[in-house]
Amino acid sequence: MPIAMKATIIMVITMLELDFMRTALIAAAAVSLVAGPVGYFLVLRGQTFAGHALAHVGFTGATGAALIGVSPLAGLFTLTIAAGLGMGLFGARLANRDIAIGMVLALALGFGLLFLHFFKSSATQATALLFGNILAISDQTLLMLVVTSIVCLALLLFISRPLLFASLQPELAEAKGVRINLLSTVFMMLVALATAATSQIVGVLLVFALMVGPGAAALRLCKSVLAGLVTAAVLALIESWAGLTLAYATDWPVSFWITALAVAIYLAAAYSSQVRHGQKA
């Protein structure tokens, strides 16, 4: 066995002996298996901005909750879900209003920073909210993430067929009796749950990488929707687990590695798709 491979195996075994690393790996798996498929539908529906938007709002909820003495995690989930519900109810009226939405998001992030200022919290807590701190996941948070992931997957499975129909052919779906507005609202609340969970892994500023990166890559690589959903989940899992392993080996931030891997995999998928299309032409 090559020396490098042997050293890698020893490093992984040593890593798995640590309780916090095992907890982090389980949390990353639970979140990734939801973030990938949900992100796939976000890209398919052209709503990738939504995940980024909800994360900003969630930051405000977390810091506001901390200011009044409530769990930041509860505040993050509550405000993110409320924002997802609002986006779903407004539906098409939010389309083509990127400037207005961007200003609202900037204001939300500004209020979040203001709440942190009044809370007098440490820079470590602010960094954890913005960029994640998966290595500090508690058993209680882990249980919450696992339950949230199960609920999200069950809900996505339940609405997947009408959601796909409405995403690809909205006019025909509506003519066939699909309740587009209700479906959009349910999906946005699902996105809100997935976004809140993902922010525990990579933070509110880097949610886009793990939510959208695997889904965008899967769309480039796969022809069928089922294969795309599975691929998106697998890619998200690979990125999060590989990011944790590389962080352990280098002592660099986990969120950096997950984001870097997400970008690298997407670029590789885009290049592969371009080559295949070029060969067919």
SS3 1: coil
Which CATH fold topology does 3-276 show?
ABC transporter involved in vitamin B12 uptake, BtuC (1.10.3470)
- pLDDT digits 0-9 by tens, 149-170: 999 999 999 999 999 998 889 8
Residue type present at position 241: W
- pLDDT digits 0-9 by tens, 209-221: 899 999 999 999 9
Contact 165, 66 (CB under 8 A): no
How many other CB atoms are there within 10 angstroms of residue 191's CB atom?
Answer: 28
The predicted pLDDT at position 201 comes to 86
Task: Name the residue ranges covered by the structural domains of the chain.
Answer: 3-276
pLDDT band at 79 (very low <50, low <70, confident <90, very high): confident
Contact 57, 80 (CB under 8 A): yes
| d(C-alpha 164, C-alpha 219), whole Å | 14
| d(C-alpha 231, C-alpha 237), whole Å | 10
Query: Looking at the predicted structure, is the pLDDT value of residue 33 above 90?
Result: yes
Query: Looking at the predicted structure, is the pLDDT value of residue 234 above 90?
Result: yes
Contact 206, 255 (CB under 8 A): yes
The predicted pLDDT at position 38 comes to 95
Tokens matching residue 180: 């587009």
How many other CB atoms are there within 10 angstroms of residue 93's CB atom?
Answer: 8
Query: Looking at the predicted structure, is the pLDDT value of residue 101 above 80?
Result: no
The percent of residues above 90 in pLDDT, for the chain, comes to: 42
Q: Is 246 exposed, middle or buried (0-12, 13-18, 19+ CB in 10 A)?
A: middle
Helix, strand, coil percentages for the chain (3-state, nearest 5): 85, 0, 15
pTM of the model: 0.87
**From 1-10, 117-126, 174-183, the region with the lowest mean pLDDT:** 117-126
| d(C-alpha 237, C-alpha 156), whole Å | 18
The predicted pLDDT at position 91 comes to 60
pLDDT band at 93 (very low <50, low <70, confident <90, very high): low
How many other CB atoms are there within 10 angstroms of residue 277's CB atom?
Answer: 9
Interval 116-134 mean pLDDT:
68
**From 108-117, 160-169, 222-231, 261-270, the region with the lowest mean pLDDT:** 108-117
